[in-house]
Structure formats: C-alpha cells, structure tokens
Amino acid sequence: MANDSMEKINALKERLNALRGHLDLDRKRSRIALIERDSTQPGFWDDNTKAQGLLKEKSTLEASVGAFDKTMRGLDDAQTLLELAAEMNDEASAQEAEGSLGSLEAEVAKLELARMLSGPQDHSNCFMDINPGAGGTDSMDWAAMLMRMYTRYGETKGWKVEISDALPGEEAGFKNVSLRIEGENAYGYLKAEVGVHRLVRISPFDANARRQTAFASVDVYPEVDDSIQIDLPEKDYELKFIRGSGAGGQKVNKTSSTAQLRHLPTGIMITCQTERSQSANKDMAFQILRGRLYELEMKKRDAERDAAEAAKKDISFGSQIRSYVLAPYRMVKDLRTGVETGNVDKVLDGDLDEFVTAQLLGVKNPNRNASAD
C-alpha cells in the first residue's frame, strides 16, 4: 500500500509540475511584487477605481499562486510522512499520509481546470441566449427547462442569475430567453455549454402521450468591461424605446421604457425590459451588444472557435452536443466528451460540473460519430 501511495504522490507531482508553465507562476509572482511596491507609493489612492482594480488583481494572482504552492507543500508533506512511517514502521502515520491523497488529487484537478480558465475573458460575467429549435411547443418548454437548469447551476456556483429578456411561448416555455450571469469565471465555465441540446421524452403537450424530440440552442458571450474597446459609431446602430410586454406582475414595464437596440452591420437585435428606467435598459442593451460583438471578433480570430461554430449546424437532428433522454430509458450523454449519467433529474437540477469540466479539460469521446443518435 505504501509503494502504491508513493507512486500516486509522484504521479500527482508530475501533473502539478506540468502546470507550472501553463499557470505562468513566475510572471504572477513578479506582478504581485510590482503591485505591492506600487501600493506603497504616494498617490496610489488618488485614482480609487484603478487602485481597487489593482488590489483585486493582486488578490486573484495570490489565490492562484497560493493554491499551487499549498498543493505542492501538501504532496511534499505526504511524501515525507510516508518515508518516515516506513523507517519507523508506523502504520498510523502511513494511513494519515495515504488519507490525504484524495483531497490532494482533487486540488491538482482544480489547478488543471484553472489552466483551462485562463482566457482573457474567462473570469468575466456573461450573457446566455437560449433559443428553441425544431419541436414546436416542446422545444419552447425545453428552453424553459434549460433556463431553470442553468439558473440552478449558477446558484451552486454562487453566481447571480437574472433574466435580461424573454419572449414567452403561446402555450408554454419561451420563444427565446436571455440571461445575465454574474460571478467569478461565469463565462469561463459556461462557454462549455455552447451548442444544441436535445431532449427526448413523452410529450406533456401530446394528447396521445407520444415520445417527442425537442431541440434548443445555447449561446454564451462575455460581459466586457471598459478595458475592452468596442467601436460603436452612431451610424451603426438604431435605438428606440417601446412599451414593455409580459404576462403581468410588478416587474413588467407599463411605460415605453423597453430598449430595443439593433446593430446594423451584423443585424444583431437586443431587447432589454427588465430594468426600471429607459436609461438603465439602454445601458444594459449596449452592454449586451458589446459582449456579443466582442465574442464575434474572438470567433473570427480563433480558428478553433470558428470550427466549433461551424459544427453547431441547425438546431435540429444530428447537430446536438448533448442528449437528455427521459423515455424510454433515462440518460444524459455529452456527445463531445462521452460523459454520461442516468441521474437525469440531478442534471436538470443544475448538477453540470462533470460535463463542464470534461469539456474544458478537452476530454474527447472516442465514439463521437457513433454517438450522434
């Protein structure tokens, strides 16, 4: 058992050392030292916003470096304890060292995931669009189910999730729904969910209780901050205010305060009606548009993202990234990674980490083509 544990420690150390360069630890340590030096200089707090931003950056960098150092120390301690236990024939110490390996392996896995969340906007808040496809009312209901699933997932992450725009379906669900998700690494995690999601179930809208297939697409784009310059000349957009619509309630606009923003070069249309005033809805609409334009630009520059977008196809058969089957059997399977589970209810309640993590870590389904059905 001790030899197995020592081999495991060595394997974990190899995985951890392989991350050193990818996590850019030397640069992060230098940046921390530079911010610490600047924070002691006179006039540092003259620009309060800039100062707060630098301290937040320092805190984030320290958390990354600290997690790596703590995990490496833990592996070193476990190795030392195992070696001493072997010399002293101390079974209790050996068990203590072996008992720590599970949590240390989990920490290494977290750091490996952190490597995949190192993109320029991965830390950002984000917007999510959910649009039903083939399947009629079932697909509109499926869009509502996905909205609930991602809301629950956000809650498990401690994120704030709110509807930024929604158009209800005639019978159920949504013709489209947009969410704003605020929280650490929201875009980094949720970009793994972009694509077409397929639902198979006995339709609650079919009088003959037949099995139906429904589709909905999910798109995610970051909320860009003021450090990202997005050129929006006045000639490139149209902004107007219209009367809000909805099923009633205190939060529905009853005045002409809904902002409708159209970007002429791309045809992107943004509608925002959840805020209380014209000004707030206008600001939110521009914020959403900037995020979508940023994402469009990133897709143009990134060949891999281009390929992923091209593979998305129509919101119908053969294009899904994940299937959720409720009948005749129960199974959720990600066709990109091969990750699957029979606990459908748990997934629909927001337990998505296994699927998201596998996609971010680049796990590939060896039977991708055969799994499309």
Q: Give per-residue pLDDT as tens, 156-172.
A: 999 999 998 899 998 99
d(CA 187, CA 119): 10
Judge if the upstream peptide bond of residue 328 is cis by omega within 30 degrees of 0: yes
> In Å, how far from its chain's centre is CA 50?
27
d(CA 99, CA 91): 12
DSSP annotation string for 272-317: E-SSSSHHHHHHHHHHHHHHHHHHHHHHHH-HHHHHHHHHT--SST
Which tens digit of pLDDT belongs to each residue from 308-359? 455 444 555 556 899 999 999 999 999 999 999 999 999 999 999 999 999 9
For the full predicted model, state whether its pTM sits above 0.85. Answer: no
Which tens digit of pLDDT belongs to each residue from 186-213? 999 999 999 999 999 999 998 888 999 9
Which tens digit of pLDDT belongs to each residue from 15-46? 999 888 888 889 999 999 999 999 999 999 99
pLDDT greater than 60 at residue 369: no
Using 50, 70 and 90 to split pLDDT, how confident is the model at 307?
low
Which residue(s) pair with 220 in the sheet?
128
Which tens digit of pLDDT belongs to each residue from 230-267? 778 888 888 888 876 554 444 444 456 788 888 888 88
Mean pLDDT, the chain, whole residue set: 85
Please name the amino acid found at residue 140.
M
